[in-house]
Structure 1
Amino acid sequence: MIETPIIERIDADLEELMERFFAGSHREVEAMRAALAEGDFTALARLGHTAKGTGYGYGFRGMGHIGLALESAALAKDHAESISQVERMARYLATVRVEYIR
């Protein structure tokens, strides 16, 4: 199944940072998966909090929303919901497309 791209409108001044932003975000998803595998909800909550701040800070509202949901799930030690949110983040990063605005 091909997912419909998610379009985020990002300030054009941030364009040169996007390659590093996405590389870091993909590494964070792997860290989230590792924290899940270890049952480390403290680390998972921190990673969700970071994704929330980074996403909202750069203008990636979808990432911010998912980070918030992940942080909440991890703080509640809800394993199933945490898995769901980590996979949601992975899908988001795989499908998001940037539209630069001036």
Structure 2
Amino acid sequence: MSMDSNDKIIVYVDSDIKGLIPGFLDNRKKDITSIIDALTENDYEAIRIIGHSLKGSGGGYGFDNISDIGRLLEQGAKTRNAIEIRKCVERLSEYLERVKVVYE
């Protein structure tokens, strides 16, 4: 799946967890702000924790891309790589703007 186009990214989610999805996605938007704030403070441990959480939770809700971004974010925090962290923030932000959930 290309992240370069403006096309929507369709994610199929079990309708049993439909009530959880809006809050989950809203919290990921809040994570972006938290990551940027932590980066400003050079708080790489906070970024690592957020990345680890994203890595663990994304796939459980059907958002494998969020898990992938979380893994990269966690690695970037462990190596204190601000450039990689910023790329992850951009990728997560774009993903959240483009994702369209279809319940099945």
What residue ranges of structure 2 are gaps of 5+ in the alignment? none
Residues 19-70 of structure 1: per-residue CA shift (max 9 Å, x gap): 2112211111110111111111111011011111111111101111111111
TM-score, length-scaled by structure 1: 0.91
What residue ranges of structure 1 are gaps of 5+ in the alignment? none
TM-score, length-scaled by structure 2: 0.89
* Whole-angstrom CA distance in 1 between matches of 2:95 and 2:39: 18
TM superposition outliers: structure 1 runs of 4+ over 6 Å: none
**Counterpart in the other structure of 1:76:** 79
**Counterpart in the other structure of 1:3:** 6
* Coordinate RMSD, CA, aligned: 1.5
**Counterpart in the other structure of 1:58:** 61
Preserved contact between residue 21 and residue 61 of structure 2 (Cα < 8 Å): no
* Whole-angstrom CA distance in 2 between matches of 1:5 and 1:37: 31
Aligned match for 1:27, one of 30, 36, 42: 30
Letter in 1 for 2:87: S
Letter in 2 for 1:79: A
Aligned match for 1:45, one of 42, 45, 48: 48
* Whole-angstrom CA distance in 2 between matches of 1:81 and 1:36: 11
| Aligned residues with identical type, % of pairs | 34
* Whole-angstrom CA distance in 1 between matches of 2:20 and 2:65: 18
Instruction: Return the offset for 1:81.
Output: 0.6
User: How many equivalent pairs are there?
Assistant: 101
